Structure 1
Amino acid sequence: MDGFNWQGGQAYRPLGGWVERPDDLQPQLDGDVSADVVVAGGGFAGLSTALELAARGAKVIVLEREFAGFGASGRNAGYLAGGQGLEYDLFLKRVGHQQAREIVRFYDEGVDYVERKLAEYAIDCDYNASGIIRAGVHPSQERKLRKSMRTGVQLGSPGEFLDYAAMRARGIPPAFLFGCHVPRGGTLDPGKYVLGLRRAALRAGVKLYENTPVLSWDEGPTVRVRTAKGSASAPFLVLATNAYTPQLGLLRNKVMPLRVSAIETEPLSSAQLASLGWPRREGIVTSHWTMESHRLTARNTLVLTTKRLRYIYGAQTPNVPDEASYRALARALHERFPMLGGVAIRSCWSGYISLAYDALPVVGAAGADRNILYTAGCSGHGVGTQSLMGLLLAERIRGAEHPLLSALHHRTPSTLPEPLQWCAVNSALGVANMMDDRVNRKARYAARS
């Protein structure tokens, strides 16, 4: 397509592009077991919660329906990003300036938390602490980008505007005309990170049961979680299931799963890398209404994500290819990096993020005994936020409320019932796509002029 070797379904990876099934797959739960805390979900949030609890002396069981890292934690783009560039317009007026500052601080602290844990658990995940650039591909995007950056700075998250000359001085590929450099964070291999958390949890004595979907649970002072061949009981249950939580019967009126897709090129040659420039390899996200993300990996491939979002009727999360999204990403690859010629696409994959209508995290407690804790609504920022959530939930379970957890308490807007939800969400996404397509047409015309 457009000069690129698009392989379609031949390149599809149902496990995502970062992980393989572990050689030491943990056994399925068979029988009845008990612990101090049961955690459902073996991603960033679930494993971080288990590790923080184990460090405080708790006996922890983690139930994972596939293998730890199978879901969004092992499928995302690998951006460790802070509070600069959030969807401020969706929540700032609702929560007020002071709470918004604390929410932004939560996002920024997530970056610091992950950096500390990489060192503590000795996880090598190819972390590149280069910061992130939020960029524009056409002059019409500059006003929106500057406004967002100013709001982020006012709320305490640093950022520096880079004009055309500054972008060229940094060696950023020329399709990206201007941008906001966010000094905090950078990019990493999310598969290596989540599998590193998995190894650390096993070393810490966390009991991990894989291939063990949660079927239901019985509320009470002791929560009993039912699985296909047994049960796990504890005074606390943590649902760290993010986009899959509505399918368990909780948060269906608060969050919705959105399908996000990615493509990865074959490794670039030395000549191709030289043609890009990009010496610091900053992760780049665009200021489209539905952003594009572009990053180089440690294996010298290019990974592009998002471009198109999709909501599946009934909050379902089928693990199937999304050919239309892969084609849109392939076109973006060609338009942003024409110097790469006919580079082949190595693989493509899709996964699900969890989004609330205000794009903020959804965290709280359910059940008559308030001992069923949940975290969802990563909204594409899960590497830092859902990792830090492990600390906040662990402290909550041990009887202390972290100030950043308190800062996240707010009234989440209610979602719509079906079929209104499907109609409203996909209509809004369609309008965003049309607006982004208009910008892209302008950028193509300008590039030819």
Structure 2
Amino acid sequence: MSEPLPHAPSWYAASVDAAPLLPALKGDLGADVVVLGGGLTGLSAAIELAEAGRRVVVLEAQRIGWGASGRNGGQAIFGYGCEPHVLEAALGSDVARAMFDWSLEGVEMIHQRSARFGIDCDWQPGHAHVAIKPRQERALRAEREQLAERYGYELEWWPRETLVRQLDSRRYLGALFDARSGHLHPLKYVQGLARAARELGVQVFEASPVIRIERGEPLHFHTPAGRVTAAFGVLGGNAYLGPLVPELRTRLMPVGSYIAVTEPLGEARARGLIGNGMAVADVNWALDYFRLTRDHRLLFGGRASYSTLPPPHLPGVMRRRIAKVFPNLGPVKLEYVWGGNIGITASRAPHWGRLGSNLYYAQGYSGHGLNTAQLAGRIIAEAIRGQSERLDAFARLRHLPFPGGRWLRTPLLVTAMGWYKLRDALW
């Protein structure tokens, strides 16, 4: 067996046993469906299709879970990256309500698949969106009313006096708490999905980047040493798809996101920070999010980079952000600091659909992929099996290209995001 390729450095990769490297594709293969990407989207689609009797091949350029699926913040939350009103304005209230319910299905899939396939992914229930400014408090209260009245989804409102009983921070005015959302170890989960897919007969290849796609009927996916021919294809590369499919690239912007994990704090000290073990995220445009790990560390994420370039002196930046939230924590060592790209759309709504009659894609989870990416895989599998109603609903969402073209869109986005950050700071 070949030596394993390294995962991108992270506490996640360091806290799991290194899986044996799966073989790279060599030679020609035939399949019913070929999937690009060994993350949540691709593996979810592969599992659904294999269960329906399809022959499936998954091609992963690096390692299973190497991208955002295996090194994200680990928060699994109801909804999508955009607010419900974005979907309502585009598709009407009835379709938006159905899509909201589907997002809850994405969270439930974590529990169903963990139970069915024996995946221990460190699930911890509870999530709080927290307000820093009075306008954010008003917005969260209004969201609570809207979700209850129009979507039938009840959340708890915690004023500051209630919140500080669970969270050792005076930074926040209140919280919108959801007991059904929560957090997990994403690399453990995605590796568990890969094991399940292989047990169902899916052929999974690592170190097998797709370098060219011949479209038509059938499709041909080429790697450096092989080719897969299939009736249908699934594109699950998201922010790491690159220029392979130009018409998708213009609708997606890779954004750098960064995470720090402390040294072990001990159970008492960790529970002193977050008493009930929930995940927490503020509602700034460039947000902070944080939670505890099973081994009693603090995982703290944020400091998005819209140029995808890591901020200078990143460990120091993360220490200052942690101190702003938890001033009582004192000096603490950061044992892991890493980053990676997520894919956002201009509206933050998911971008799912098909190219031609047989090439399917899902991208643009906008930082909200743990529930929606695997939901996308299920919905694409439904469409390949002839039930396209749910995918057709998402495909009706109009996605504008980012302005500025290839060379100017990143500078323009950086400028726009600077304005939003200034607004968060001043208003």
Q: Give the TM-score normalised by structure 2.
A: 0.91
In 2 relative to 1, CA 334–75 (structure 1 residues): closer, same or farther, beyond 3 Å?
same
Matched residue, 2:417:
429
Deviation digits for residues 268-321 of structure 1, max 9, x if unmatched?
Answer: 134522532x22111000011221101111111111112333234xxxxxxx75
Measured on the aligned residues, the alpha-carbon RMSD in Å equals 2.1
The answer to whether the 8 Å contact 1:83/1:108 transfers is: yes
Asked if 1:345 corresponds to 2:334, the answer is yes
Deviation digits for residues 326-365 of structure 1, max 9, x if unmatched?
Answer: 4433211011112211111111111111111111111111
The answer to whether the 8 Å contact 2:76/2:182 transfers is: yes
Question: Counting strand residues as a fraction of each chain, which structure ranks higher?
Answer: 2
Matched residue, 2:272:
275
Q: Partner amino acid for 1:68?
A: I
Matched residue, 2:4:
none
Matched residue, 2:325:
336
Asked if 1:400 corresponds to 2:387, the answer is yes
The answer to whether the 8 Å contact 1:246/1:255 transfers is: no
Distance 2:81 2:424 in 1: 17
Q: Partner amino acid for 2:419?
A: V
Shift of 1:114: 1.6
Distance 1:218 1:97 in 2: 39
Distance 1:355 1:405 in 2: 19
Distance 1:148 1:247 in 2: 38
Matched residue, 1:386:
373
Q: Give aligned-pair identity as a percent.
A: 32
Deviation digits for residues 75-132 of structure 1, max 9, x if unmatched?
Answer: 1010111128843454443333222222222222211122111111110011012x21
User: Which of 250, 254, 271 matches 1:253?
Assistant: 250
Asked if 1:133 corresponds to 2:128, the answer is yes
Q: Counterpart of 1:50 in 2: which secondary structure?
A: helix
The answer to whether the 8 Å contact 1:100/1:155 transfers is: no
- The farther-off stretch of 177-186 and 244-253 is 244-253
Q: Counterpart of 1:33 in 2: which secondary structure?
A: strand
Q: Counterpart of 2:24 in 1: which secondary structure?
A: coil
Distance 2:411 2:290 in 1: 30
The answer to whether the 8 Å contact 2:291/2:300 transfers is: yes
Q: Give the TM-score normalised by structure 1.
A: 0.87
Asked if 1:293 corresponds to 2:282, the answer is no
Q: Counterpart of 1:418 in 2: which secondary structure?
A: helix
User: Which of 3, 13, 17 matches 1:19?
Assistant: 13
Matched residue, 1:447:
none
Shift of 1:188: 0.4
Shift of 1:28: 1.0
Deviation digits for residues 386-441 of structure 1, max 9, x if unmatched?
Answer: 1122221111111112x4433323222222213331232111111122233346xx
Gaps of 5+ in 2: 1-6
In 2 relative to 1, CA 206–351 (structure 1 residues): closer, same or farther, beyond 3 Å?
same
Matched residue, 2:191:
195
User: Which of 162, 176, 197 matches 1:166?
Assistant: 162
Count of residue pairs the alignment pairs up? 415
Matched residue, 2:3:
none
Matched residue, 1:147:
142
Asked if 1:266 corresponds to 2:279, the answer is no
Asked if 1:34 corresponds to 2:26, the answer is no
Distance 2:40 2:81 in 1: 22
Distance 1:422 1:84 in 2: 23
The answer to whether the 8 Å contact 1:19/1:192 transfers is: no
